[in-house]
Structure 1
Amino acid sequence: MMCGGPSATRPATAEMQDIADQVKSQLEEKENQKFPVFQAVSYKSQVVAGTNFFIKVDVGDEKCVHLRVFRSLPNENKPLTLHAYQTNKAKHDELTYF
C-alpha cells in the first residue's frame, strides 16, 4: 500500500457493516428509495486526516452500491459522513477509489 493510498480490498467485517448501516439513511435520502437489503460485502480503507472507507454493499437483485464514507479523527467528535457513492454496480465490479 502506498502512503495515503487505499488499502487492498478485504472482506467486510462487523465494523464495516455497522459503518454502512450508519450511513444507509443518508444514501436512501439522496437516492429517494429504501434498500431492504443492505449487506456490506468488502471494503478498502484510506488514512487521510481521518479515514475514508470504500464499502461495497449488496442491495439485492444482483446489484451493489459503492460507498465512500468519511470518519473524522476521534478528537473531532463528528458523525460518519457519506461523501460519495456509486449505484448500479454488479457484484463482480471492482471497488476502486472514487
Structure 2
Amino acid sequence: MAGSGEWSPTMDATEEIQKICDQMKPDVDKMTGVNYGEFKAVKYRNQIVTGQYYIIKVYVGGEEYIHVSLYRKPDGVVTLRGVQHKTKDDLLKPFPK
C-alpha cells in the first residue's frame, strides 16, 4: 500500500471496489449517456488524502473498458469525478475531470 498522498500500485479489484462501482453506476451511465449492461471492476489504484481517490478499470462488455475516477470523502460519501473510455491494456493513470 502506498503512503499517504501517493498513488498505490495497480491492484486486483476487491468486493469493496465492486460495491463502490455498483453504487456509482447510475452516475457513470448519466455522465456517459450509456446504460452499461455489464459493469465489472477489474483493477484499481487509490490515493489516500483527506478521504480517498480511486481510479478503477471497469469491464463494460465486448472489448470495452472504462476508467472511472472517484473520490470518497472521510464521511464515506462517494462522488464521480470523471470517466474515460479505454482498452483492456491501458494503464490506470490519474486523470482530471
Cα deviation code 1:35-68 (max 9, x no counterpart): 0010000000101111001100000111110011
Counterpart CA distance in 1 for 2:81 and 2:34 is 18
Counterpart CA distance in 1 for 2:69 and 2:49 is 13
Moved over 2 A (4+): none
1:16 matched residue in structure 2: 17
Paired residue type of 1:8: P
Structure 2 unaligned runs (5+)? none
1:91 aligns with 2:92: no
Report the TM-score when normalising by structure 2. Answer: 0.90
% of aligned pairs identical? 36
Report the TM-score when normalising by structure 1. Answer: 0.89
Q: What SS does the aligned partner of 1:83 have?
A: strand
State the 1:2 CA deviation: 5.7
| Pairs aligned (count) | 94
Paired residue type of 1:97: P
Matches within 5 A, 1:1-98: 1=2, 3-74=4-75, 79-87=77-85, 89-98=86-95
